[in-house]
Amino acid sequence: MLQMQSAKEPRVPDHPPPLIVATWSFSARGCRKAFPDLLSGSSALEVVCGVAREAEADPSVDSVGFGGLPDATGRVTLDAAVMVAPERCGSVCAVSRHLFVTDLARRVMERTSHVMLAGEGADAFADAMDMPSTDLLSPAAAQAWQRWRVGEPIGRPMDAGPTTGQLFATPASAAHAPAGFRHATERETPHDTIGVLAIDRAGSLAGACSTSGLPFKLAGRVGDSPIIGHGLYVDPEAGGAVATGTGEMVMGVNGTFLAVECMRRGATPGEAVHEVLTRIERRFRPQTHQQVALIALSRTGEWSAGALRSGFIVSCAQGSGTELLQPQFVMHPEDVVDGPHPADAGGGS
Ligand code: GLY
């Protein structure tokens, strides 16, 4: 029997349903944990920080936080950024004593008049914020560095698994997958930055990213992740984007700023991601071992993801669950990136 709606019942809000999208399968655990909070009213900013924190604390993720592979000198340095609007963003880079760098970036945004703190200054700010300091080099990452130094195969954790993408998968149901996406059934290749975008019940957007950077990078190298407009950009008037992969190429085209500007001018998220990857291809002519992938989310809640090469997976929490999805398009599906390449590392040619 039909029920009359009481005048006192809340009106169905006129904005998109809550959503989290994040790079790589390792972010699925954080998405799954954070999504109920998002549905209960947590802010998008709170949620993207929570998803990033989960990966930062996971020693099995060798590209983010504790467990991240060190630079060429054996030292782990972390980069992160958060953003909710052009006038509300924060980031840190080359942090060497503190683990929860996304929370630290948030504190830069909320407690200082600056956008970005680097190196020892960022660590000192974390001390001042009473954030605990810690050794960031995990035993597995130290071993990988020792092997890399003598030219042995590195054997990253991803090399061992068949279809890593299925480890966290919810029972297959394509019900929530946007058109053009397939559930992830292929093997995920070595991963990189965690980038997270969310839209909350109030319709607000937020984004975060966190990384230990390229494995065995030259000491002092900083990539795209902590630089606003490169690894992360959010503008509530247009949308948000996150990037993962070889940061130097993302930096050359202001990758996420470009994606958001494309959406501002009317492009769909898919068209925006395609424009960024096409521009990277045209200018850099990436080698087959070099991967870049982006996720773009419009202010109205549509999203898309694309990658240069096979092996990129998106974690998506929406509707009733968390899913692992293939990106909507891959520019070169025949290429599979299978590990860190000497030419990208500090000791390479
Ligand atoms: N995309 C992470 C980095 O290049 O450092």
CA atoms within 13 A on the CB side of 150: 6
Ligand 1 centroid vs 213 CA: distance in angstroms? 5
Domain residue limits, the chain: 19-343
Average pLDDT, the chain: 87
Q: Using CB atoms within 10 A of its CB, is residue 134 exposed (0-12), middle (13-18) or buried (19+)?
A: exposed
**By percentage, how much of the chain surpasses pLDDT 90?**
77
B/e letters for 213-223, b = 16+ CB within 10 Å, e = fewer, are: bbbbbeeebbb
Lowest mean pLDDT among 28-32, 129-133, 318-322, 336-340: 336-340
Structure token pair of residue 302: 């549509």
The number of angstroms, rounded, from the C-alpha of 1 to the middle of its chain's C-alpha atoms is: 47
Catalytic site residue 193?
yes
Question: Where is pLDDT greater, at 4 or 232?
Answer: 232
Q: 54-85, pLDDT tens digit by residue?
A: 999 999 999 999 999 999 999 999 999 999 99
Q: 208-222, pLDDT tens digit by residue?
A: 999 999 999 999 999
pLDDT at 174 over 50: no
pLDDT at 231 over 50: yes
For the entire predicted model, the pTM comes to 0.87
What per-residue confidence (pLDDT) applies to 184?
60
Ligand 1 centroid vs 303 CA: distance in angstroms? 22
Q: 277-319, pLDDT tens digit by residue?
A: 999 999 999 998 899 999 999 999 999 999 999 999 999 999 9
What per-residue confidence (pLDDT) applies to 170?
31
What are the contacts of 325-330 at 24+ separation with CB within 8 A? Answer: 325/177, 325/181, 325/182, 325/183, 325/184, 326/181, 326/182, 326/183, 326/184, 326/186, 327/181, 327/293, 328/178, 328/180, 328/181, 328/270, 328/273, 328/304, 329/180, 329/270, 329/273, 329/274, 330/306
Q: 156-170, pLDDT tens digit by residue?
A: 544 333 333 322 223
Determine if ligand 1 sits within 6 Å of the CB of residue 193: yes
Determine if ligand 1 sits within 6 Å of the CB of residue 255: no
Question: Where is pLDDT greater, at 46 or 169?
Answer: 46
Backbone angles phi, psi at 74, to 5 degrees: 90, 10
The per-residue DSSP string of 224-272 comes to STTSBTTTEEEETTTEEEEEEE-HHHHHHTTHHHHHHHHHHTT--HHHH
Ligand 1 centroid vs 265 CA: distance in angstroms? 27
Determine if ligand 1 sits within 6 Å of the CB of residue 226: no
Q: Which CATH number does 19-343 carry?
A: 3.60.20.30
Cα-only R_g, the chain:
19
Ligand 1 centroid vs 212 CA: distance in angstroms? 8
In ligand 1, the atom with minimum distance to the C-alpha of 221 is: 5
Determine if ligand 1 sits within 6 Å of the CB of residue 291: no
In ligand 1, the atom with minimum distance to the C-alpha of 63 is: 2
pLDDT at 13 over 80: no
Determine if ligand 1 sits within 6 Å of the CB of residue 214: yes
The number of angstroms, rounded, from the C-alpha of 123 to the middle of its chain's C-alpha atoms is: 22
What per-residue confidence (pLDDT) applies to 19?
97
331 contacts 309 by C-beta, under 8 angstroms: yes
Pairing of strands 116-118, 239-245: unpaired
Taking CA atoms only, the protein residue closest to ligand 1 atom 4 is: 247
pLDDT at 1 over 80: no
Q: 233-281, pLDDT tens digit by residue?
A: 999 999 999 999 999 999 999 999 999 999 999 999 999 999 999 999 9
Amino acid at 267: A
